A = this chain, B = another copy of it.
């Protein structure tokens, strides 16, 4: 019965959490990018950031309560815990929602590799955007900074995520560098998943095409390539 109540709660919170995640990202972005807006607007943004974050904390607490478990809940729902701390990652649920919508319409699901590519790619983009915001805020006024506009910051985030690292725009403050290290750690693992899945998916497409084209010609030959 606890389980059914938890499922119900999760179902009911789906929409509010998505809205809260978008509010979180939007209010943070406005606060960072619109630093020449009047003070009250910025304060409002800050309040909105905290309010949307509180929704996540509340959701996590309620689900913990409903589970009736102790610390083991956190261990088994560490992804939810991570999303609670970093609500920026919430939009990831969009992929799941899109998937559910397709299933309802009885369309075939996205293939496994496509789902991983979409999931990991979107997480990496969101991480990159959030990191660009955070680094821009940290570097903006620093002496000797090479990241001076938000465009520089996005450019830096892209070249970091791709592990290209030109070095023409680099964080120089300790806080900026800390964000950069977090971006490297998270982003590279995610992008490794993207390229790995993309590569597997490409092999699958090519091997399927190979099977289809020569219908009578020893299908075993191309199946062997698959192994």
Interface centre among A162, A172, A194 (most CB of B within 10 A): A162
- Interface positions, chain A 168-225, Cβ under 8 Å from B, are 168, 170, 172, 174, 177, 180-181, 184-185, 188-189, 191-200, 202-203, 206-207, 210, 214, 221-222, 225
Contact among B163, B189, B195, B197 with A203 in the assembled complex (CB-CB below 8 Å): B197
A36 to chain B, nearest CB (A): 21
What bracket does the count of chain A residues touching chain B fall in?
Answer: 35 or more
Chain A interface secondary structure, helix, strand, loop or mixed?
A: helix
Given contacts A167-B168, A199-B193, contact A210 B158 (CB under 8 A): no
Is B167's CB under 8 angstroms from A202's CB? no
Is B167's CB under 8 angstroms from A206's CB? no
Is B189's CB under 8 angstroms from A198's CB? yes
A159 CB–B CB distance under 8 Å: yes
Using a CB–CB cutoff of 8 Å, the interface residues on chain A facing chain B are 103, 108-109, 111-113, 115-116, 119-120, 151, 155, 158-160, 162-168, 170, 172, 174, 177, 180-181, 184-185, 188-189, 191-200, 202-203, 206-207, 210, 214, 221-222, 225-227
